[in-house]
């Protein structure tokens, strides 16, 4: 027997949910491979490059620290998958207080950038992490003063030097992830004055001091002792995230980003509603590892959980997403698999 509500007997929202084809045709949120960026970790050789092998990252099942040889293959696979870009992180063999390896043309990140450009051509946006944390022996994102605090303005000078090095290596998009005040303006000024006005800036604008970065520390062999709460945002501050993005846009950011993603969808939505430039989100290492760990134990359906997480980030307003599932997800999208 059919029961209708007397007020509106003809209203049946379920009509649009009956079959897959109908659900696809009325979907409000759609995923596209070009919206995805794959983060890649590249390890510097400690000896004979021929003897080097990829190093699995225990806290991130399926993710490795690449050799330069496997980087080439990974970039080619990424290009073939149709994703939008790759974000490169360097894992140096030696470190010092000022992160000298970050500006060395022969340093791992700059070498990896040149290789990625050779392999990708213009089929991918080759992006580089512009931050000192991977290169310093103290693990902080900047230069320390005599009291052990991160010196904002001295760090900006190092960022400017890094920007030139990365641009000259071929990076097309610099990912400013250090959360120093004025970093976008400083890098934009130095790029323009050194003939690199065409190099774009991705500002990690709302980067929160999150527990979800834990696996990333293993991925880059971080030397950090302590925390980064003096420069990353307090997880409870929603308005501050929007304020930071607004400042970065005014300073010349071409893209702004919220990081992490899933725990900060409200911030992402706020920034997307106000931004005049594209807005990205970073699905960070802890988000990846939690899903992989739960799926490995049979507690959740892996593919559905991945698709649902990416769909939610897109639904909240992200125009692009950095995710360690980028190439795998691109295959699913092409095959029409959705959450």
The residues assigned a catalytic role are: 207, 259
Phi/psi of residue 257, nearest 5 degrees: -140, 150
DSSP 8-state code for residue 18:
S
Rounded to whole angstroms, the Cα distance separating 121 from 133 reads 28
Q: Which of 63, 115, 31 is nearest to 335 (CA)?
A: 31
Q: Which residues contact 68 (CB under 8 A, 6 or more apart)?
A: 42, 45, 49, 111, 112, 115
Relative orientation angle of helices 108-120 and 68-81, to the nearest 10 degrees: 40
Do 70 and 54 touch, CB atoms closer than 8 A?
yes
DSSP 8-state code for residue 179:
-
DSSP for 198-257? T-EEEEEEEEB--GGGHHHHHHTT----S--TTTSBPTT-HHHHHHHHHHHHHHT-SEEE
Q: Which of 250, 253, 207, 197 is nearest to 228 (CA)?
A: 207
C-alpha separations of 166 from 106, 220, 231, 260, 290 in Å? 11, 18, 23, 24, 32
Q: Where are the alpha helices (DSSP H) in the chain?
A: 20-25, 68-81, 108-120, 152-169, 183-193, 214-219, 238-251, 265-274, 285-296, 302-315, 326-334
User: Vertex 223, ends 221 and 229: CA angle to 5°?
Assistant: 115
- The pair of structure tokens assigned to 133 is 């944390």
Do 286 and 212 touch, CB atoms closer than 8 A?
yes
């Amino acid at each position: 027997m059919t029961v209708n509500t007397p007020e509106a007997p003809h209203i049946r929202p379920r009509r649009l949910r009956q079959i897959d084809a109908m659900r696809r045709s009325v979907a409000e949120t759609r995923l596209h491979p070009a919206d995805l960026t794959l983060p890649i970790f590249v390890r510097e050789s400690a000896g004979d490059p021929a003897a080097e092998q990829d190093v699995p990252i225990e806290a991130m099942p399926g993710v490795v620290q690449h050799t330069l040889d496997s980087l080439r293959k990974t970039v080619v696979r990424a290009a073939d998958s149709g994703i939008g870009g790759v974000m490169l992180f360097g894992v140096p063999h030696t470190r010092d207080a000022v992160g000298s390896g970050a500006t060395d043309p022969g340093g791992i990140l700059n070498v990896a950038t040149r290789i990625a450009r050779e392999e990708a051509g213009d089929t991918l946006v080759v992006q580089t992490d512009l931050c000192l944390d991977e290169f310093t022996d103290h693990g902080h994102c900047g230069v320390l003063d005599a009291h052990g605090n991160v010196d904002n303005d001295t760090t900006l000078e190092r960022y400017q030097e890094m920007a030139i090095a990365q641009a000259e290596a071929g990076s097309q998009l610099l990912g400013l992830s250090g959360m120093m005040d004025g970093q976008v303006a400083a890098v934009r000024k130095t790029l323009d004055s050194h003939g690199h006005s065409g190099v774009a800036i991705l500002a990690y604008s709302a980067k929160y001091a999150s527990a979800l970065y834990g696996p990333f520390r293993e991925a880059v062999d971080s030397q950090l002792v302590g925390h980064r709460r003096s420069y990353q945002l307090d997880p409870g501050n929603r308005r501050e995230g929007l304020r930071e993005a607004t400042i970065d846009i005014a300073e010349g950011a071409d893209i702004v980003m919220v990081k992490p993603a899933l725990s900060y969808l409200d911030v992402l939505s706020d920034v997307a509603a106000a931004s005049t430039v594209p807005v990205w989100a970073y699905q960070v290492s802890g988000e990846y590892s939690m899903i992989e760990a739960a799926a490995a134990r049979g507690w959740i359906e892996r593919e559905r959980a991945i698709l649902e997480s990416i769909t939610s980030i897109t639904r909240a307003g992200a125009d692009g997403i950095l995710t360690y599932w980028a190439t795998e997800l691109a295959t699913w999208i092409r095959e029409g698999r959705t959450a």
